[in-house]
Amino acid sequence: MRVALVNLDLGYPIDFWPSKKQSIGMGYIAAVLREAGYDVEVLEERFLGREYIMRILETERFDIVGFKFIGLELSESYLKSQNTSETFDNPVTRAMKVVRCVHPETLIVAGDYSATFWDKEVLRLTPTNVVVRGEGELAMLRLVEARHKGASYETVSGISWLKGDTVHRTPGELVDLDTLPRPIRLKHEPDDWLMINSSRGCYARCTFCSTFALYGKKKGNWWRGRNPLSVVDEIATLHENGFHNIQFADDDFIGVDPSRAEKIAREIIKRGLKVKLRFDARVTEVTEPLFRLLKEAGLKRVYLGCETGSRRDLKLFHKGTTVEQNIRAVKLAKSLGIEVNTGMIMFHPLSTLETLMENIIFIEKVEDEPALVQLASEMFIYKGTPIHREMEARGVLNTPLTTYQIVDPAARWVHDQFYQYAEKVQSELIRHVEREYRSGDTRREVVYQTSDDHLQVFKSLLKEAKAIF
């Protein structure tokens, strides 16, 4: 049995991003399949290039080809395919069509968030045979086993398939994280940030979050953490092999058990591992004792999902936090010498000039020079989330997918004007970087460029909108 796991990019130049971050989920699936004795090829565009991957898919026969199917590839092509016989047209579906044409007997599988939430559309509008919903390790293993035995896959947990015009679904199951083998890793450079999965899920109930939708209503599924010693063992192995930059791929590294994060930090210090760490956390988890310890263990940067400086929006998002908590968390982390990536949702369907102004006031309190991506950030609405259901009921979504127009005309005008500015800035910067530099660190400027100019442009647009509307 031969299996290929394919992750195609979203149209960016292959060396655009500062680090070749591998899909950790795909790495885990590959490890589980190899542990079971199956031949698995991991094909990641950021490492191998699209041309090479397409050549492999055309010339080599696989029994199963699994594709990562993510949201940014969906919306534009889905709009075009509504109420027509047209199918999605993007890099993933084009690769699927090649496999279907050259090797019609191959089972094509789609996975990840978008395939999970839009399984019906993916099955009907692409060459996909089976969608793996949610966590993929056990479902893919059972699917490969069934294929190997020539048995039906219809009893495999956590999948969707089409029979006639009806989508059939089986309930999924969650894997014990401490039983998973370490993920298969492709060749990295010493300065790359390597991903480690120390936990899965999040205990918060934010209305826009796909993690909330993915793990459902059963509270025990919301957040699961690995054994801290196992996590540090994995870090130590990477350290021994010359890799010192570790990024936790967790939705919420600290989660419901801050003592676990403390144990990880103390064990790193005890073993003398000189590493740099990054992770995501909620603002309510930022305490001075814990973050001082994490700083000593190597924490360099934390992503804090503040989202907004508007009390109204915090309530709409069900964040369970306050503006004051957001400010305190960012300032505390920075006071300890930890870089903070302040996560923002500047625009969403119900944005108003008031909420935009509140966001700007908040940003001015926590950032010296805000990043362009913070000011231009907009909500991505996943199907299956509470915010999707609410916006669909309000009639503000353009399609059953994710696209929308901001209801308030003044806020919509600010959005459109600032996006024109942001696109111009980024296109100019990309040309500059492509022309003058080859280093990934410099390329990071494109996404995270900071400048007080951006803030002043945004504020001037708010002032102009007030005068117009």
Contact 107, 131 (CB under 8 A): no
In a domain, 189, yes or no: no
User: What is the per-residue pLDDT across 100-139, written as a single tens digit (0 to 9) for each?
Assistant: 999 999 999 999 988 998 899 899 989 999 999 999 999 9
Alpha-carbon span 462 to 469, nearest angstrom: 10
Say whether 236 sits in a helix, a strand or coil.
Answer: helix
Same-domain status, 343 and 450? yes
pLDDT the model gives residue 271: 98
Contact 309, 361 (CB under 8 A): yes
pLDDT the model gives residue 431: 62
User: What is the per-residue pLDDT across 67-101, written as a single tens digit (0 to 9) for each?
Assistant: 998 754 444 444 454 444 445 677 888 999 999 99
In a domain, 183, yes or no: no
Give kind and range of the element (H or E) at residue 291: helix 288-297
Nearest CA among 348, 403, 407 for reference residue 78: 403
Same-domain status, 386 and 326? yes
Same-domain status, 441 and 379? yes
At 430, the pLDDT band (50, 70, 90 cuts) reads low
Same-domain status, 310 and 415? yes
Task: Pick the more confident residue, 401 or 215.
Answer: 215
Same-domain status, 202 and 158? no
In a domain, 460, yes or no: yes
pLDDT the model gives residue 100: 96
Residue type at 427 in one-letter notation: S
In a domain, 450, yes or no: yes
Same-domain status, 336 and 441? yes
As a whole number, mean pLDDT of residues 314-335 equals 98
Same-domain status, 157 and 298? no
pLDDT the model gives residue 170: 95
Same-domain status, 257 and 348? yes
In a domain, 118, yes or no: yes
**Residue 149's CATH number:** 3.40.50.280
As a whole number, mean pLDDT of residues 53-62 equals 96
Last residue of a domain, one of 134, 169, 204: 169
The CA–CA distances, whole Å, from 107 to 2, 43, 98, 110, 459 equal 11, 17, 13, 10, 53
* pTM of the predicted structure, to 2 decimals: 0.89
As a whole number, mean pLDDT of residues 424-453 equals 57
Contact 210, 117 (CB under 8 A): yes
pLDDT the model gives residue 191: 87
In a domain, 240, yes or no: yes
Summary mean pLDDT of the chain? 88
Least-confidence region, from 10-24, 253-267, 334-348, 422-436: 10-24
User: What is the per-residue pLDDT across 265-323, written as a single tens digit (0 to 9) for each?
Assistant: 999 999 999 999 999 999 999 999 999 999 999 999 999 999 999 999 999 999 999 99
Same-domain status, 331 and 461? yes
Say which residues have a Cβ less than 8 Å from residue 56's Cβ, sequence separation at least 6: 4, 41, 43
Same-domain status, 457 and 322? yes
pLDDT the model gives residue 81: 47
Share above pLDDT 70 across residues of the chain, in percent, rounded to a whole number:
87
Residue type at 41 in one-letter notation: E
In a domain, 234, yes or no: yes
Quote the number of domains for the chain. Answer: 2
CA angle 61, 66, 69 (to 5 degrees): 140
pLDDT the model gives residue 446: 46
In a domain, 318, yes or no: yes
φ/ψ region of 150 (left if φ > 0, alpha if ψ in -120 to 50, else beta) reads left
Pairing of strands 245-248, 194-196: parallel
As a whole number, mean pLDDT of residues 353-368 equals 96
Domain region containing 11: 2-169
pLDDT the model gives residue 73: 43
**Residue 288's CATH number:** 3.80.30.20
Same-domain status, 287 and 250? yes
Torsion from C-alpha of 325, 328, 334, 336, nearest 10 degrees: -110
Same-domain status, 341 and 462? yes
pLDDT the model gives residue 339: 96
At 195, the pLDDT band (50, 70, 90 cuts) reads very high
